[in-house]
Structure 1
């Protein structure tokens, strides 16, 4: 009997997994709650819920461009078009995702408008319950493997700041940020200095009267910020009309944008999965993805601080190699030891336990380990080198780091040149 595999989600992780299972002696299906592929990469001007009453998963905003060069965004076996800009917009990159889906005939494997409601381990199989979101017809199927590919960029992480309920202005999360024009001539507080916080802060600063950026990041950004861009420390409390910061200063505020990240959210996973599910981490995972206690379940795309598309592609190939039997996982105690060593390292450094998903400087070694264990093609070291230089360019100037064009010479080397583009209009069509 063929191995049965359920892939949850038709974003990059789900599509990559489907592409690498295709053509193998595997019976698989992709369950997708929306009517679209691409997950968070599909821009939708709406916020809140979609036409079927489900939460909108996308966090795309109108002016978003990738924060990694296109070489790091390439889907395995499907070359990025040469004429694609070095840092493409979401629109250009989304067309590339759709072209990938069409090229590999993946649409025929996707059950659109089918929402997974429960995944339960019973009688040595995975019982997957799901429903058609329009007819509400319910189904249940049994699978040998489950690949959870819903990512972790759809459920906002909301901070709990004293006085928040009294603030009379507008508060949104970056998940619902779409374009800057609604903040024109306003005093806007952006909270958080991750990639979205920095990007959205600069986007809004172009039109706002005053952009107050609150964060505690110790990184030394050397960007020449505009005169209306004001750096502030963490917020002590909010008032009806503004914010008091931990240094005692006060700012009048019209609107707040929380760029405070996302939660790990898998409401369909039953406790029989054996995973510990926390808003800030999922444990224990071998190789950052294999459910140690139930290793026929893999969660793809949970890594942080990496060439995420390259990492997801490698994980999808690793998962497919496991499913078709190209290699065997080590015993549970060996996998648990690998995870425990990473966990102990996080604790020893005094870091938040969410760092258990962090690759950072370990990224290239991670790819080497995946290849050595599973036999998949290794992600070339040049991608980690490009990401390292790209990070330095971000620290140097957040306005110009996307003006660099990268060309890969071979698996270890690349060249970079500077090509400033024409200036964009902030609130144009």
Structure 2
């Protein structure tokens, strides 16, 4: 009888060892050390999962690091950051915090890029993830071979090339670095300067000049008001249907879309004409993952990446997760939730639905978009579905739910922007519990303490 127990114990012990070995041999490749990458790194590390982060620069923080240069960096790679000197977050502190690591209390409600970049550096050090990051390693190619992912990467200074194998891929290289250029007729004839917001650094070069801003997204409105402080004339061309109540300055002139440029200015679709010195295209960015080939099973275009389950899981190759492709959401909060979901998936805490079921879920969303005559890019928009999205992630994976109060704060902040783009950053949002918050105006002394 004793020998029987010994035999059973031995078998069970060997099974446990075998299972442990399987868990430990899971290797994860994380691309990028911006918010998505460092969030994923934190949770993978806490779960005891073997992972490596590849970052082409020598910094964490991604687009939140300001760089005064345009074009390429010191290693000849395209500059990914789109930061400018005067930028402050366009969402309040509670919605900009990564879970379990609050922003410093002394910071204003809408911190400067400098303070937020420091926060991301502090986060990386606090959770001891820097040793897991291969800095100055640019990912060249990720391809599926058999049952593994082969990742080819290059040291950007020595040009030495490596190839490693991984079981899971987490892509977090963002989608705010490749400019979307509108290609308007007559650009080649225009004698002024045309740049994209990606290369905008500060307002001073536009002092006393006639500036045309194209686009009314977050960057268009923010940069437009920034340049309006110094410009002689600010012409704003856009087709947004949003009725902004902001009291724009007298030298601000709204115009419809541009019909064409000539040598000295722009003709608009209402037939009007404005003489222009400089043009800033605030026309957004393209999705760009140049290191993926057809083995990924994804259809890649400048406006969309499909098909994705839960806005992030590659349906055709579910061991690949793409973080941060969502639009109109509390992006930092969403990235943290996606990182926790991805970690739970790698760890085996839950199982994804069958391929057919995931495709049906995605196709249903795409059909709804097409039935409204909207472009395929809308497949990445959360908007009013944001809180529901967090609930679904939690229900499926078991991760802690993002509190509904985050969506409620974003909703009120959106209204504050519609009311007045000059004053919406004056409000402080304080979380009371998972459902409730209070808002009050910030003390002027705190606002004056901004470090830009």
1:10 pairs, out of 28, 33, 37, with 33
Task: State the SS of the aligned residue for 2:334.
Answer: helix
- Checking the alignment, whether the CA contact within 8 Å between 2:32 and 2:54 is kept in structure 1 is yes
Matches within 5 A, 1:103-118: 103-118=126-141
Deviation of the 1:423 alpha carbon: 11
4+ residue stretches of structure 1 with deviation over 2 A?
A: 419-425
Q: Is 1:45 matched up with 2:72? A: no
Q: Which residue of 2 aligns with 1:305?
A: 328
Task: State the SS of the aligned residue for 2:157.
Answer: coil
Q: Is 1:287 matched up with 2:310? A: yes
User: Of the two, which has the highest radius of gyration?
Assistant: 2
- Structure 1 alignment gaps of length 5 or more: none
Deviation of the 1:26 alpha carbon: 1.8
Q: Which residue of 1 aligns with 2:8?
A: none
Q: Deviations over 1:206-250 (max 9, x none)?
A: 000000000000000000000011100000001111000000000
Judging changes above 3 Å, is the alpha-carbon distance between structure 1 residues 423 and 260 closer, same or farther for their aligned structure 2 residues?
A: farther
1:405 pairs, out of 423, 428, 432, with 428
What is the distance in 2 between the residues matched to 1:326 and 1:221? 46
Q: Is 1:147 matched up with 2:154? A: no
Q: Which residue of 1 aligns with 2:372?
A: 349
- The count of corresponding residues between Structure 1 and Structure 2 is 427
Q: Which residue of 1 aligns with 2:351?
A: 328
Q: Which residue of 2 aligns with 1:242?
A: 265
What is the distance in 2 between the residues matched to 1:300 and 1:127? 19
What is the distance in 1 between the residues matched to 2:212 and 2:445? 29
- Checking the alignment, whether the CA contact within 8 Å between 2:47 and 2:343 is kept in structure 1 is no
Q: Which residue of 1 aligns with 2:117?
A: 94
RMSD of aligned residue pairs (Cα, Å):
1.3
Matches within 5 A, 1:202-241: 202-241=225-264
Deviation of the 1:419 alpha carbon: 2.5
- Checking the alignment, whether the CA contact within 8 Å between 1:400 and 1:420 is kept in structure 2 is no
Q: Which residue of 2 aligns with 1:34?
A: 57
Deviation of the 1:417 alpha carbon: 0.5
Q: Which residue of 1 aligns with 2:104?
A: 81
Q: Which residue of 2 aligns with 1:170?
A: 193
Task: State the SS of the aligned residue for 2:46.
Answer: coil
- Structure 2 alignment gaps of length 5 or more: 1-20
Q: Which residue of 1 aligns with 2:213?
A: 190
Task: State the SS of the aligned residue for 2:234.
Answer: strand
Judging changes above 3 Å, is the alpha-carbon distance between structure 1 residues 405 and 231 closer, same or farther for their aligned structure 2 residues?
A: same
Q: Which residue of 1 aligns with 2:279?
A: 256
Q: Larger % of helix: which?
A: 2
